[in-house]
Structure 1
Amino acid sequence: MILQTSISSPIDDIIIQATNKGVSYVGFYPKQSYTHTPIEQVTNQAVLICAEQLNEYFSAERTSFDIPLDTHGTPFQNSVWQALLTVPFGKTMTYGDIANKLNNPKAVRAVGAANGKNPISIIVPCHRIIGANAKLTGYAGGLARKQWLLKHEGLI
């Protein structure tokens, strides 16, 4: 069973989904379950904690998250998402930096692809990844939202 709620934020409504293991999706568009499990508009502890912590983040009261996650990706995608969790609030890294963290410097494009498939926006901070030329690159939530998030964190 996937449990879902949404919250309002300065950059649009955010959908939060969780399983009994943890948060499985945070994003700006309704997402169907990866297992086609029914989605119910109810909450559980993970959804409530996530909503509370996201509200604190948007109110500039929180710079990191402590939320159980239930990610579903390939082993490589999961390793990229784990590396993203090490990028602190107020800092950016490049796709190359993440590839180097994974001891796979030639995997820059694969890191970019995994970054783009991140199902847990903001919590797993894919918005903090920029191009090697220090320019903003793609963001599944849209570049305007990425720019807002980076500005919120004092980066632009």
Structure 2
Amino acid sequence: MTSTFATIDSPIGRIELTSDGEAITFLSIEGVEGSPHGRLQHGGRPGVPDKVIKQATKELGEYFAGKRKDFDVPVKLVGTPFQQAIWHELLAIPYGGHASYGDLAARAGNPKAARAVGGAVGANPVPIIVPCHRILAGNSKLTGYSGGSGVSTKIQLLDIEGITYR
């Protein structure tokens, strides 16, 4: 199956969506110039959205406008079984809620795997829709973010949802 992409504007910067025609397979958030994060795979070209990308664009617009708390657009997450287990746990964190790396490790059945959980969270191919921004340190302090401009992008997403952090 061939993939298509489109780049859209958002309140947190340009977002590039990739689809295989059935599901969103990749989402990247552009970072500010000089940021080590947030590179758009197709260089910000507009692309041609398919029906799945059009649905994701609509739902992301509703999310940023405060009118959507859950996404219905299908996603296809390709990764190791451990990564997939962690991404599945991310999907269980409700809008406005948060969890810690330790929480996710315990839910995945290995309470000592918090560092590995961090790697899986950082490898999430579909941020925002699979809400990795909802992960904080055990004391509710901010931790890194691999999308957009890093922590500043994470703060924007947390603020949209009203998630309290330190």
- Listed as ranges, the gaps of 5+ residues in structure 1 are 33-39
Q: 1:103 aligns with which of 86, 105, 109?
A: 109
Task: Give the C-alpha shift of residue 11 in structure 1.
Answer: 0.8
Corresponding residue SS for 2:25? strand
- Structure 2: how far apart are the matches of 1:155 and 1:72? 28
Task: Give the C-alpha shift of residue 133 in structure 1.
Answer: 2.2
Corresponding residue SS for 1:139? coil
Query: Counterpart in 1 of 2:157?
Result: 149
Task: Give the C-alpha shift of residue 92 in structure 1.
Answer: 0.6
Q: How does 1:4-153 map to 2 (within 5 A)?
A: 4-28=5-29, 29-31=39-41, 41-141=47-147, 142-153=150-161
Q: Percent identity, aligned pairs only?
A: 41
Query: Counterpart in 2 of 1:37?
Result: none
Task: Give the C-alpha shift of residue 67 in structure 1.
Answer: 1.3
Task: Give the C-alpha shift of residue 31 in structure 1.
Answer: 2.7
- Structure 2: how far apart are the matches of 1:99 and 1:49? 32
Task: Give the C-alpha shift of residue 43 in structure 1.
Answer: 1.8
- Structure 1: how far apart are the matches of 2:75 and 2:81? 15
Task: Give the C-alpha shift of residue 6 in structure 1.
Answer: 1.5
- Structure 1: how far apart are the matches of 2:132 and 2:120? 10
Cα-to-partner distance string for 1:110-151 (whole Å, 9 max, x where unaligned) = 110000001101000000000112111010121001001111
TM-score when normalising by structure 2 = 0.86
- Structure 1: how far apart are the matches of 2:9 and 2:40? 14
AA aligned to 2:161 is E
- Structure 2: how far apart are the matches of 1:90 and 1:53? 17
How many residues get paired? 150
AA aligned to 1:110 is A
Task: Give the C-alpha shift of residue 76 in structure 1.
Answer: 0.8
TM-score when normalising by structure 1 = 0.91
- Listed as ranges, the gaps of 5+ residues in structure 2 are 30-38
RMSD: 1.6
Q: Which runs of 4+ in 1 moved over 6 A?
A: none
